Amino acid sequence: MSASAEATVLISHEVGLHARPSVKFTKLAKRFSAEVEVALAANGPWFDAKSIVKVMAAKAPKGTVLHIRARGDGAGEAVGALVELVRRDFDEGVDHARTA
């Protein structure tokens, strides 16, 4: 039986999932052997989180809830790492200390 994991995370980055965050997101997803997918709605459509073209095409703005799921070895670690990256505003150094 294959491991699986799912989570949701709110994009708080001022310009959303634009070019630089998309690159960071896909690079991190590629570090895991699990199949990783992302969607902008719980019922999909789901797309490959390791595809820069597909992630950038999502054009997810600030305030979007990302749905992330993974299957296979390291699924939980992959989902956890991607959620934390989004929560850290993609490590872009922008001050988002205010909480909603």
Mean pLDDT of the chain: 92
Per the domain annotation, does 57 fall within a domain?
Answer: yes
Per the domain annotation, does 51 fall within a domain?
Answer: yes
pLDDT of residue 30: 98
Per the domain annotation, does 96 fall within a domain?
Answer: no
Per the domain annotation, does 99 fall within a domain?
Answer: no
Tell the residue number behind the tokens 């994009």, with chain if given: 11
Tell me the average pLDDT across 81-87: 97
What residues have CB less than 8 Å from 77, skipping those under 6 apart?
32
Q: What is the pTM of this model?
A: 0.89
- 18 lies in which domain range? 4-91
Tell me the average pLDDT across 27-36: 98
Per the domain annotation, does 98 fall within a domain?
Answer: no
What are the distances in angstroms from CA 73 to CA 3, 50, 51, 76, 85?
Answer: 6, 15, 19, 8, 20
Q: For position 42, which CATH number holds? A: 3.30.1340.10
Per the domain annotation, does 100 fall within a domain?
Answer: no
Query: What are 41-73's pLDDT values in tens digits?
Result: 999 999 999 999 999 999 999 999 999 999 999
Domain total in the chain: 1
> With bands split at pLDDT 50, 70 and 90, how would you rate the model's confidence at 97?
very low
